[in-house]
Structure formats: C-alpha cells, structure tokens
C-alpha cells in the first residue's frame, strides 16, 4: 500500500501537564480530516472509542495533513518547524524520541539488531555512527529512515519512506 505524501502520521506522547489529560477523545475537537489511528498506554495498543480518556504517558498516533500540524502542535506539543522537502525525507515524519517497541507495532520492525537502543533517535545514531547530519539515511526493516531535524547532535525528527521508493 502506498499513501500519497500529503498524508502524514504525527506521534505525540502526552505529558502530565497537557490540557487534554483526563479528556475523552470525543471532546478533543480535532481538525477536520485528521484521525487518531492508535492509542498506546503502557506499551499496549488500545482500541479507543470516543469515550476513551487520555492519561499522562499515552502515545497518540494521528493521521493528517501537513496543514494540520500547527493545530495538532498546539493541542499536544510544541509545533515543529516545517521547512524541508518531504519528497526527500519521506512520507511520514516521526519524533526521534519515539520508542522502538511502540513503532514496531506499526512498521513490523525487527528489533533484534537494536541492542540497548530504546528510541528511534538512539538506534539511528548508533547505526550511523559518529555525528548524524540532516539527510543521513539508513535502510532498515524494509523502510528508509532519514534524519530530518537535529538539535545539536541529537536527532529530533526522522522521515520514513517505504524501501522500494527513492529516499534521495
């Protein structure tokens, strides 16, 4: 299955101080054409309904458009800057702090070669070696993983593209 690049998956981990903690999903007033496609709690994939209440530490996976990012950012986190070419970086952008075991549920990742890396950023940095730079790409588990944003030498965002598509 190939999705048009106008769709992206945004992943947010809810901190205890977020306004939405304790709210039911139906109360969120999500932007049109966005959908919560997964809710993880304590590393377990839940099957949420409109009456599901959000808790601190929950991980929300939302499908939407690039134009939805500012609203979603205000709702769930700080808004990342969007000034790069999505054709180069991939069809989806993921937070470098995303836990590998959470991502494995979506992408059928082989975690055997992850060693002690817990986050996507740690794993990619370890596999690339040295100091990563924006544009560094790693092929892993049938996907191209491209460093899209750095904070110093820490990977903040990673583009993801199915391996049969060009990552450059």
Burial class (CB in 10 A: 0-12, 13-18, 19+), 120: buried
* Closest C-alpha to 11, from 119, 117, 95, 97: 95
Q: Which residue has the tokens 């769930």?
A: 76
Residue 53: what pLDDT?
93
- Kindly give the confidence (pLDDT) of every residue in the chain, 168 residues in length, as a single tens digit, with 9 standing for 90 and above: 444 457 788 888 888 888 888 989 988 888 888 888 888 898 788 888 889 999 988 888 888 887 888 788 778 864 334 444 555 677 778 889 988 888 887 777 888 877 777 899 999 998 888 788 888 888 888 888 888 888 888 899 888 887 754 444
Residue written as token pair 């377990």: 44
The pLDDT score that the predictor gives to residue 86 is 55
| Bridge partners, residue 45, by sequence | 40
Residues in the chain: 168
* β pairing state of 137-140 and 59-65: unpaired
pLDDT value at position 164? Answer: 59
- Crossing angle, helix 100-107 and helix 120-128, to 10 degrees? 90
Other CB atoms within a 10 A radius of the CB of residue 95 amount to 21
Burial zone of 151 (CB within 10 Å; 0-12 exposed, 13-18 middle, 19+ buried): exposed
pLDDT at res. 87:
59
> Can you give the pLDDT at residue 4?
46
Closest C-alpha among 50, 137, 72, 61 to residue 98: 61
Whether the model clears a pTM of 0.75, i.e. scores above it, the answer is no
Spatial distance between the Cα atoms of 46 and 23, rounded to a whole number of angstroms: 16
Q: Which domains does the chain have, with CATH numbers?
A: 7-76 (3.30.70.1450), 86-162 (3.30.465.10)
Give the bridge partners for 105, in sequence order: none
Q: Are 148 and 91 in contact (CB under 8 A)?
A: no
């Amino acid at each position: 299955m190939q999705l048009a690049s106008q769709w992206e998956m945004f992943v947010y981990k809810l901190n205890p101080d977020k306004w939405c903690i304790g709210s039911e999903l139906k109360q969120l007033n999500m932007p049109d054409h966005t959908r919560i496609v997964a809710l993880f709690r304590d590393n377990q994939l839940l099957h949420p309904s409109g009456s599901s209440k959000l808790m601190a530490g929950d991980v929300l996976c939302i499908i939407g458009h690039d134009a939805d990012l500012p609203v979603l950012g205000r709702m769930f986190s700080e808004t990342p800057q969007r000034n790069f070419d999505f054709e180069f970086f991939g069809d989806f952008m993921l937070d470098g702090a995303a836990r590998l075991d959470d991502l494995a549920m979506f992408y059928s990742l082989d975690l055997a070669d992850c060693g002690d890396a817990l986050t996507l950023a740690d794993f990619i940095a370890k596999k690339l070696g040295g100091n990563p730079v924006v544009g560094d790409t790693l092929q892993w588990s049938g996907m191209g993983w491209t460093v899209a944003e750095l904070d110093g030498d820490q990977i903040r965002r990673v583009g993801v593209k199915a391996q049969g598509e060009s990552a450059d």
